[in-house]
Structure 1
Amino acid sequence: MSVYQNGVTLNAKRYNDKLLLSMKTSGHPSDRDFESITPQLEAAIYSIHSPYAALLVDISEFKGWSIKSAWSEFLLSQKLGSEFDRIAIYGKSPWQNLLIRVISWFISADIKVFKRKKDATDWVMSS
């Protein structure tokens, strides 16, 4: 039996002229989780001034969210989605892939879904 902690975590790394943000959603994140991650994302994006920014999202432990937290995530994607050249998302569930396709209608970045983290990382870092 797996036990997942609810929440959203963020890590930022710079590789030469590339900024890679790694975000992981686990369990059932709340709207407050998405609201608290927004200033961290903004700080990473706007303080590093990288000409190339990529986002790697791990949804392998994501179980779902409330309407309010889904709305908070949608607002976050609208606010910062255009800052990324590529967004790689990896997870294991078919319903997650469908969700990502819907989200991709609202974001200008190149978005792909992967089943393996290595494949997602390789793609998001290539340009």
Structure 2
Amino acid sequence: MQTTHGLFFEVDRDGDHFFMELKAVGKLTHEDYEQITPLIDEALAGIEHPKVNVYFDGSDFEGWELKAAWDDLKLGLKHGKKFNRIAIYSDKKWMDVMAKVGNWFISGEVKCFDTPVDALAWLREE
């Protein structure tokens, strides 16, 4: 049983264009979102029309505690219109379902990939 958990976050910005890299480890908790949400809010603050591409590494992701799942939904509703593309890397088939559900909450596209190379290539396509 995995006891390590957390969300690791990095952001690069070029004008109104953002590249965010997130890695989820273990089962995410409400406390994980209490740490990461202000960082995302701060990164996007004051930008009228940001264009955000996200690389999400879910290779070590095991899911959410109930309150954390709610936090994830709130984060998506708050910033969903700002996301251009979200590429999810994972070999877990349930992540494909997560990508489809994610498409309901963001204005851009969400896709799941079997390799990080394919995920990053798709984000750079435009």
TM band (smaller chain): 0.7 to 0.9
Relative to the length of structure 2, the TM-score reads 0.86
Normalized per residue, which structure has more strand?
2
* SS across alignment from 1:92: coil
**What is the TM-score when the length of structure 1 is the normalising length?**
0.86
Aligned-pair identity (%): 33
Q: Deviations over 1:36-86 (max 9, x none)?
A: 211101222236778532111111100121111111111111111211111
Deviation of 1:88 after TM superposition, in Å, equals: 0.9
Measure the CA separation in 2 of the matches of 1:96 and 1:65. 12
Structure 2 residue runs of 5 or longer lacking an equivalent are none
The two structures, once aligned, show a CA RMSD in angstroms of 2.2
The 1:119–1:16 alpha-carbon spacing in structure 2 relative to 1, beyond 3 Å, is farther
Q: How many residues are matched?
A: 126
Query: What pairs up with 1:21-60 in 2 under 5 angstroms?
Result: 21-46=20-45, 51-60=50-59
Q: CA–CA distance in 1 between the matches of 2:4 and 2:22?
A: 14
State the partner residue of 1:19.
Answer: 18
Return 68-77 or 49-58, whichever deviates more. Answer: 49-58
For the pair 1:6 / 2:5, whether they are aligned, the reply is: yes
State the distance in 2 between where 1:50 and 1:125 align.
Answer: 19
